[in-house]
Amino acid sequence: MSIAEDDIAQIADLARIRIAPEQVAEVTDSIGRILTLADQLQAVDTTGVEPMANPHDAVQRLRDDVVTETNQREAFQAIAPAVESGLYLVPQVID
């Protein structure tokens, strides 16, 4: 797969990336080599090749869902700058 310098300029504009005009040819060449490598990888026949391990196949050892900390809500709210009905009050940040 080949890519043109105009394509690079358009992609850079969409990605809000500034590429100096004198670097466009170099970037085009680099991306072209990457796309050529991807095409080579796509062309490899993987029929009969068993997939490698996948992290989604792993089983997690789960711990018991047990409360290990004591409830300190009253102590924390006692030192809070502003509390109302058990909720922390914070300054409004969105108009």
The Cα–Cα gap between 11 and 32 comes to 14
Cβ-count burial 12-43 (b if 16+ within 10 Å, e if not):
eeeeeeebeeeeeeebbeebeeeeeeeeeeee
Domain boundaries, the chain: 5-43
Its CATH architecture, for the domain 5-43, is Orthogonal Bundle (1.10)
What residues have CB less than 8 Å from 19, skipping those under 6 apart?
A: 8, 9, 12, 27
pLDDT digits (tens, 9 = 90+) for 19-30: 998 999 999 999
Whole-number pLDDT of residue 89:
95
Whole-number pLDDT of residue 12:
92
Q: Contact at 8 Å (CB) between 19 and 27?
A: yes
Q: Contact at 8 Å (CB) between 12 and 4?
A: no
pLDDT digits (tens, 9 = 90+) for 35-80: 999 999 999 999 998 888 887 878 888 989 999 999 999 999 999 9
Q: Which long-range contacts (C-beta less than 8 Å, at least 24 apart) are formed by 37-43?
A: 38/1, 39/1
Whole-number pLDDT of residue 16:
94
